[in-house]
Amino acid sequence: MATPTLPSENPAVLQGDSSAGAVVFDNVALAFEENVVLDGVSFHLPRGETKALFGVAGSGKSTILKLTLGLLKPDSGRIFLLGEEVTRMSEQELFDLRRRVGIVFQESALFDSLKVRENVAFRLMEEHLSEEVIEERVREVLRFVELERTYDMFPSELSGGMRRRVAIARAIITQPEVLLYDSPTGGLDPVTSNTIVELIVKQRDVYKTSALLVTHRLQDAFTMATHQFDKNSNQMIKLPKGQRSEVPMSFVLLRDGKIIFDGDARELAASRDPYIREYIS
Amino acid sequence: MALELELISPFEVAKDAVLAIQDYAVLAMQSLGNFFRRPRYWGDMLQQADLIGVGSLPIVVLSGLAIGALLALNSASTLQRFGGITLIGQLVSNSMVTELGPLITGLMVSGRNASGMASELGSMIVTEQIDAMRALGTDPSKKLVTPRVAATVFMLFFLTIIADLLGLFGGYAVASLMFGLDSRQYWSNAWQTLVFRDVFMGLVKPVLFGFIIATIGCYYGMSTRGGTQGVGRSTTQAVVTSSVLILVVDFFVTKLIFALLGYR
By the CB < 8 Å criterion, does B185 face chain A?
Answer: no
Per-residue pLDDT at B162: 96
Q: Which of B40, B117, B129 to mutate to test the interface with A (most CBs of A within 10 A)?
A: B129
> What is the average pLDDT value for chain B, to the nearest integer?
92
Please list every residue in chain B whose beta carbon sits closer than 8 Å to the beta carbon of residue A174. none
Q: Residue A193 has what pLDDT?
A: 85
Q: How far apart are CA B96 and CA B64, in angstroms?
A: 9
CB A50 within 8 A of CB A4: no
Q: Collapsing DSSP states into helix, strand and coil, what is residue A40?
A: strand
Are the beta carbons of A277 and A271 closer than 8 angstroms?
Answer: yes
The answer to whether B132 contacts chain A (CB < 8 Å) is yes
For residue B121, what are the domain limits? 40-261
Please indicate if any CB of chain B lies within 8 Å of the CB of A34: no
Who's near B48: CB < 8 A, 6+ residues apart?
A: B147, B148, B150, B151, B152
Task: Determine phi and psi for A84, rounding to 5 degrees.
Answer: -105, 140
Chain A, residues 49-78, CB within 8 A of chain B, namely 66, 69, 71
> Which position has the higher pLDDT, B58 or A2?
B58
pLDDT score recorded for residue B2: 52
Over residues A207-225, the mean pLDDT reads 89
Q: What is the pLDDT of residue A15?
A: 41
Instruction: Tell me the per-residue pLDDT of A124-164, one tens digit each, with 9 for 90 and over.
Output: 999 889 999 999 999 999 998 888 999 999 999 999 889 99
**Residue type at position A268:** L
For residue B69, tell me if it sits in a domain.
yes
Of B153, B48, B112, B70, nearest to B243 by C-alpha is B112
Q: Does domain A48-71+90-100+176-280 have CATH number 3.40.50.300?
A: yes
Using CA atoms, how far apart are residues A50 and A109, in angstroms rounded to an integer?
22
**What is the structure's pLDDT at B3?**
56
Percent of chain A topping pLDDT 70: 93
* Yes or no, beta carbons of A105 and B132 under 8 Å apart: yes
CB A120 within 8 A of CB A152: no
- Arithmetic mean of pLDDT over chain A: 86
| Cβ contacts of B136 on chain A, cutoff 8 Å | 98-99, 122-123, 126, 170
Of A92, A106, A123, the CB nearest to B136: A123
Say what angle helices B196-222 and B101-109 make with each other, to 10 degrees. Answer: 10
Residue A2, pLDDT > 60, answer no
A3 CA to chain B: closest CA distance, Å? 32
> Is A121 in contact with A141 (CB distance < 8 Å)?
no
Q: Please give the model's pTM, rounded to 2 decimal places.
A: 0.86
B128–A71 C-beta distance less than 8 A: no
**Cβ distance of A71 and B134 shorter than 8 Å:** yes
Does the pLDDT of residue A33 top 90, yes or no?
A: no
Closest residue in chain B to residue A125, using alpha carbons only:
B138
* Confidence band, pLDDT 50/70/90 cuts, at residue A11: very low
Measure the CA–CA gap between B53 and B147, rounded to whole angstroms: 13
* Mean pLDDT, residues B190-206 taken together: 92
* Residue B30 belongs to a domain: no
Please answer yes or no on whether B132 and A103 come within 8 Å at the CB atom.
Answer: yes
> Any chain B CB within 8 A of the CB of A107?
yes
The answer, yes or no, to whether the previous bond of A184 is cis (omega within 30 of 0) is no
Backbone angles phi, psi at B115, to 5 degrees: -65, -40
- What 3 state SS string does B137-185 have? CCCHHHHHHHHHHHHHHHHHHHHHHHHHHHHHHHHHHHHHHHHCCCHHH
Whether residue B23 lies inside any domain: the answer is no
Residues of A in Cβ contact (< 8 Å) with B139: 91-92, 95
- Name the amino acid, one letter, at B180: G
Question: What percent of chain A lies above the pLDDT cut of 90?
Answer: 46
Alpha-carbon distance B105 to nearest alpha carbon in chain A (angstroms): 28
- Structural domain contains residue B15: no
B129: closest chain A residue by CA: A109
Express as a percent the part of chain B with pLDDT over 90. Answer: 77
The domain segmentation of chain A, as residue ranges, is 48-71+90-100+176-280
Q: How many separate domains does chain B show?
A: 1
Q: Is residue B203 part of a domain?
A: yes
Tell me, yes or no, whether B208 lies in a domain: yes
In a domain, B25, yes or no: no
pLDDT digits (tens, 9 = 90+) for B45-101: 999 999 999 999 999 999 999 999 999 999 988 888 888 888 899 999 999 999 999
* Residue among B90, B118, B75, B93 at smallest CA distance from B202: B93
* Residues facing residue A23 across a β-bridge: A45, A81
Nearest to A94 by CA among A121, A76, A73, A77: A73
The 10s digit of each residue's pLDDT in A94-106 is: 999 999 999 999 8
Query: Would you call A186 exposed, middle or buried from its count of C-beta atoms within 10 A (0-12, 13-18, 19+)?
Result: middle
Cα angle B187, B190, B194; round to 5 = 140
**A120 and chain B: CB distance < 8 Å anywhere?**
no
- The partner residue sitting opposite B127, judged by closest CB among A92, A103, A107, is A107
Question: Is residue B133 in some structural domain?
Answer: yes
